[in-house]
Amino acid sequence: MSQQIQPAKVMFDGPVHGRSPLHKYIFTGVVVLLCLWVLVPIYLLAVNTLSSPEDVNAFPKSLFPDLNTDSVSFFLNFAGVGQALWSSVKVATVTMVLSILAGAPAGYALSRFDFTGKSTFRVLVLMTRAFPLPLLALPLAVMYIRIGLDDSILGLALVHTTLALPFAVLITYSLFSGIPIELEEAAWTLGCSRLQAFQKVIFPLVLPGIAASAIFAFVISWNEVFAAAVLTIENRTLPAFLLQSLSFAPLHLKFAGGAVLVLPALIFIFLVRKYLFSMWGIANR
Amino acid sequence: MKPVKTLLSLTLATGLSAAAMGAANAEVLFWSTQANPPEEQQIMREKVLADFEGGADFAPSEGGPWLTRIQAELQAGEGKIGVLGSLHGDLIELSDGLVDLSELDTSSMNKTFLELGKLGTDEQKYIPWMQATYIMAANKKALEFLPEGADINALSYDQLIAWSKTMAEETGSPKFGFPAGPKGLKHRFFQGYMYPSYTNSMVTKFRSAEAELAWNKFKELWSYTNRSSTNFSFMQEQLLTDEVWVVFDHTARLADAFNQRPDDFIAFPAPAGPTGRGFMPVVVGMAVPNSAPDMEAAKNLISYMSQPEVQIETLRATNFFPVVDVELPDDMPASVKAAGAAVAAMSGSADANPGLLPVGLGDLGGKFNAVYVDAFERIVLAGQDVREVLDDQADSLRKIMEEAGAPCWAPDAPSEGACPVD
Amino acid sequence: MYSKSLPYMLLLPATLFLCIFFIYPFTLVAWQAFTTDTGEFTSSFFQEMASHWKFNTALINTLLLALAVVPFQMALAIYMATLVNGMKRGRDAVLYIWTIPLGISDLAAGLIWLAIFEQSGFLNSFLHTLGVVEQPVGFLGYENKGIIFLAIVLAEIWRATSIVLVILVAGMGLIPKEYAEAAEVFGASRWQRFTRVTLPMLKPSLQTAMILRVILAFEVFAVVVALGGTNLPVLMSEVFTWQYELRDAHVAAAYALVILAISIAFTLLIMWALRVPKGARV
């Protein structure tokens, strides 16, 4: 949270001719308000996390933590947290790679070709997200035990990939759709093959968007609890590990557990934000 | 723990962890729905299971994933889970997939619980692991509002209502709290406390005039109950935040309040109605699934968990009481002392009227609970007519009893064939 | 131009995935909704579901929540995306802040908002400090269904707007600047530029974002349970109840198929409403 924006520095860009200073202030005010809307609840979670159990239960609550780290240190020293964290990162990374490898070609095909079964495929992809996953866990677990994928990083990543795939397909589809086909055609007339044209022209343009959908995949995997709780036992992921305990934990530990879950996701989004935003560079082609 | 023993367990633990590196699979996997809270898991791993030869991996889980996982292993016919630990109601459903444990030594165990562990078959499907029950707890601030002449250790439901009414009027907001949230154990209150206390029955007199009276009494109590009770699942939280002053809940779900602020709260028995002081003992069992990778090790773990000293460590970890005869040491946590006294007063009272957990319902246990929960939601929350709802829900109850063919259990009189619903 | 099989080759990996990890278990589960344990075909599970006293409430709540959350979210995300587009400095920081909820699971979001709305929570503390209330108010009591509903809507808007935002921002980044500049040269007002240029060009992204949001809105669960307890049954919470509390996998599967059916219906509707005519593509 060290990144403080300075409202005064938020300047209005674009055609500002004839825009009064009042407009600028309103604009800045709205942006700051929306930032607060996102940040305040997270700040409150932090307050609860960094308060002693007595303070978490006190009324009225103070808006400032007393920086008591008992709950957090309990979690960090909790047997198995480190291992679960590592499992989570591994599963989420494999999920990210798999969902892009499987999703992006499909997104490209949907945006560039008309073929029989196109709309069927699109609906099929969406159906995946429209059916409650917890019900699918039992048949999947049986299948896994029989083929030996049970309790493995790869096995869980495969299920998470299925969950993330619709996002990957749809996001890449809309990205490719947004790139004029003329660009590709121009490359072909200059003697590029389809593959070369894709590599040299299209790929650099969609890279940021692909990064965005990779992040989705990572986050989906990171936050998925139910399949993780059923399909892994000794290689539990962090959310499965924590959330199994969270719903029965006393309040102060619930908040600490929530924070332990939220913080890595925040850090991850922060790390990849450059990719998320490098699209600004390409917007000015 | 004595120092000698600590030393021993330390050597064992270091030796074990070294061995565990090489043979992680040799550990028995203990798949449990109990001892889920992080602090309890910690104690289970570090204290309770630490001395088990060969090592045990304690893996607690929520009910949904717990069941899905073990069902998958039973279906596949192989798996990782060695020992199951869960409530009587969960184990009933897996009955066909559980190994007979009759060969284990159970001489010091509570006979009633052993009988429950047969799940209506002639095999010992599970071995009792630990027990608990539901009691009342109050913030000491509430005591000054007790009705004239009421004895806190022998309250009646009418006195509880009067007490809640006084508190609501004097303090300006309802101070009675009831665990009616999504994970709350409200159904056990109706099955094991309200019905036995008002009708001397759990099933047969479900729609009787006495039951109608009971529900009307409960509606009255509800009018002095905190409005957010439909979100409460662990009453210790609301006791600690002072949102409510008097609550009913499971002993393990009140423990935190006593342990954090032992001087502020007291525990006392559940109230009595016209037909006695209904209460429900809860039993948690240990079982071995057919799909267990190492039967011998699994059975050894169950024997280990039944030892008196391990049962005491388990009590420290989970606030569930032993199922074998043991002398409790004096250094028990505040919650154990408070709850222990209240439970003893409740089960030892002259008008005690225990209601057992449902027996012989198979996988209809959930629907059985839903009959009571639906009655509550329709009568109390939706304000529907008591008589109509009871008639309607009695039909569902009758269907469940007939489908299961389950004979009556206490406090209902034994029946030939399925337990009737009058 | 290209061989007939190329698109199918491109779709193959994704299709394989879906067949093994979705279609296969899905078929097994869906089968359960129509057949008894002994394998007889029956519609009794759907009847049992539809006649259950909570079914209508759960269905209506689910639809109402989606209706209250999704349109507002779409509008808010479009607005936020245009705000970001008009920024010079601080853009990266603002965008980062706005996408934070992306990394927050619905369980954690439910926890965060419960800390705000519960009786001894931050909202009550705040009102108490201001002197607005004497006693803490039980906002989430079972009689305040309206407030519970509102709290869930707020939490959902807070939690899931960022997904829409990122998709739209990515889409806006792909709109060539020349279009807006040309429109400006021809004297179009800001509003006209937005409605005539930006929105039509955003259609593919809008369609994607909206379909995803609607589908996820029908599966809303963790936040509802955290804030509403059992007061506000939704379809997804009923699936859980039937599967894990009532232990009736058949009826749970029937509920899941209902969720699937309304999701498909709405998906097709959105696809049609926001379709991009072939000739109108850039």
Q: Looking at the domain assignment, is residue C28 inside a domain?
A: no
**Chain B interface with C: residues with Cβ < 8 Å:** 63-64, 67, 93, 172-173, 180-182, 226-231, 241-243, 363-367, 369-370, 374, 377-378, 381
φ and ψ at residue B225, rounded to 5 degrees? -105, 145
pLDDT in tens, B270-285: 999 999 999 999 899 9
Mean predicted confidence (pLDDT) in B43-54: 91
SS3 per residue for C164-198: HHHHHHHHHHCCCHHHHHHHHHCCCCHHHHHHHHH
Number of domains in chain A: 1
pLDDT in tens, B356-404: 888 778 778 889 999 999 999 999 998 999 999 999 999 999 999 999 8
Chain-chain contact of B237 with A57 (C-beta, under 8 angstroms): yes
Cβ of residue A76 closer than 8 Å to a chain B Cβ = no
Number of domains in chain C: 1
Distances in Å between the Cα of B364 and the Cα atoms of B63, B64, B92 are 16, 16, 9
Checking if the pLDDT of C158 tops 90, the result is yes
Give me Rg for the CA atoms of chain A.
Answer: 23
Residues of chain C in contact with residue A227, where contact means CB-CB under 8 angstroms, are none
Distance in angstroms (rounded) separating the CA atoms of residues A228 and A215: 19
Interface of B with A in 377-406 (CB under 8 A): none
Chain-chain contact of B64 with A59 (C-beta, under 8 angstroms): no
> What CATH number does residue C133 fall under?
1.10.3720.10
- The predicted pLDDT at position C144 comes to 87
Range of the domain at A228: 79-280
**Closest by Cβ to A233, choosing from B36, B80, B241:** B80
Distances in Å between the Cα of B259 and the Cα atoms of A139, A253, B50, B338 are 43, 15, 24, 10
Chain-chain contact of C89 with A9 (C-beta, under 8 angstroms): yes
Domains within chain B, CATH numbers bracketed: 28-132+282-341 (3.40.190.10)
Distance in angstroms (rounded) separating the CA atoms of residues B67 and B91: 10
Contact between B143 and B166 (Cβ < 8 Å): no
- The number of angstroms, rounded, from the C-alpha of B275 to the middle of its chain's C-alpha atoms is 23
First to last CA, chain B: 54
Q: Which of A47, A48, A126, A138 to mutate to test the interface with C (most CBs of C within 10 A)?
A: A126
What is the token pair recorded at A13? 């860009």
Chain-chain contact of A141 with B72 (C-beta, under 8 angstroms): yes
Nearest alpha carbon to residue B374 among B352, B357, B389: B389
Q: Looking at the domain assignment, is residue A270 inside a domain?
A: yes
Query: Counting Cβ atoms within 10 Å, is residue B250 exposed (0-12), middle (13-18) or buried (19+)?
Result: buried
**Closest by Cβ to A132, choosing from C18, C92, C236:** C236
DSSP structure string for B173-224: S--EE---STT--HHHHIIIIIHHHHHS-SSTTTTSHHHHHHHHHHHHHHTT
- The predicted pLDDT at position C174 comes to 74
**Closest by Cβ to B363, choosing from C225, C230, C247:** C247
**Closest by Cβ to C247, choosing from B93, B230, B377:** B93
SS3 per residue for C228-279: HCCCCCCHHHHHHHHHHHCCCHHHHHHHHHHHHHHHHHHHHHHHHHCCCCHH
Q: Looking at the domain assignment, is residue A47 inside a domain?
A: no
Nearest alpha carbon to residue A85 among A224, A238, A226: A238
Place of tokens 């705040």: C126
Cβ of residue B60 closer than 8 Å to a chain A Cβ = yes
Checking if the pLDDT of B11 tops 50, the result is no
Q: Looking at the domain assignment, is residue C20 inside a domain?
A: no
Q: Which of C52, C137, C245, C250 to mutate to test the interface with B (most CBs of B within 10 A)?
A: C245
Distances in Å between the Cα of A61 and the Cα atoms of A48, A51, B257, B415, C123 are 9, 10, 19, 56, 9
- The predicted pLDDT at position A2 comes to 37
Checking if the pLDDT of B293 tops 60, the result is yes
- The mean-pLDDT minimum among B138-152, B216-230, C86-100 falls in C86-100
- The predicted pLDDT at position C133 comes to 85
**Closest by Cβ to A244, choosing from B36, B75, B81:** B36
Q: Looking at the domain assignment, is residue A73 inside a domain?
A: no
Chain-chain contact of A283 with C204 (C-beta, under 8 angstroms): no
What is the token pair recorded at B34? 């109990």
Please name the chains neighbouring B, where neighbouring means 3+ C-beta pairs under 8 angstroms. A, C
Mean predicted confidence (pLDDT) in C20-28: 92
Q: Where is pLDDT greater, at B153 or B20? A: B153
The pLDDT profile of chain A, 285 residues, written as one tens digit per residue, is 333 333 333 333 444 444 678 888 888 899 999 999 999 999 999 998 888 888 887 777 888 887 888 888 887 777 677 888 889 989 999 999 999 999 999 999 998 888 888 888 888 888 888 898 888 988 998 899 888 888 889 999 999 998 899 888 888 888 888 788 888 888 888 888 888 888 888 888 787 778 778 887 888 898 888 888 888 887 888 877 776 666 667 778 888 888 888 887 788 778 777 666 554 443 333
Predicted model pTM: 0.85
- The predicted pLDDT at position A268 comes to 77
Q: Looking at the domain assignment, is residue C121 inside a domain?
A: yes
pLDDT category of residue B25 using cuts at 50, 70 and 90: low
Q: Looking at the domain assignment, is residue A13 inside a domain?
A: no
Nearest alpha carbon to residue C256 among A270, B122, B418, A130: A130
Interface of A with C in 158-217 (CB under 8 A): 158-159, 161-162, 165-167, 169-171, 173-175, 177-181, 194, 205, 208-209, 212, 215-216
**Closest by Cβ to C10, choosing from A30, A109, A158:** A109
C116 Cβ contact partners less than 8 Å away, ≥ 6 residues apart: A41, A44, C122, C123
**Closest by Cβ to C138, choosing from B93, B226, B367:** B226
B252 Cβ contact partners less than 8 Å away, ≥ 6 residues apart: B132, B318, B319, B320
Chain-chain contact of B227 with C141 (C-beta, under 8 angstroms): yes
> What CATH number does residue A166 fall under?
1.10.3720.10
pLDDT category of residue B107 using cuts at 50, 70 and 90: confident
Chain-chain contact of A103 with C14 (C-beta, under 8 angstroms): yes
Q: In B227-276, which residue ranges form alpha helices assigned H by DSSP? A: 235-240, 255-260
pLDDT, chain B, mean: 88
Range of the domain at C131: 34-274
Q: Where is pLDDT greater, at C152 or C189? A: C152
pLDDT in tens, C38-87: 888 999 999 989 988 889 999 999 999 999 999 999 999 999 998 988 78
φ and ψ at residue B28, rounded to 5 degrees? -80, 130
Distance in angstroms (rounded) separating the CA atoms of residues A96 and A165: 9
Mean predicted confidence (pLDDT) in B197-212: 96
Checking if the pLDDT of B86 tops 90, the result is yes
Distance in angstroms (rounded) separating the CA atoms of residues B298 and B306: 13
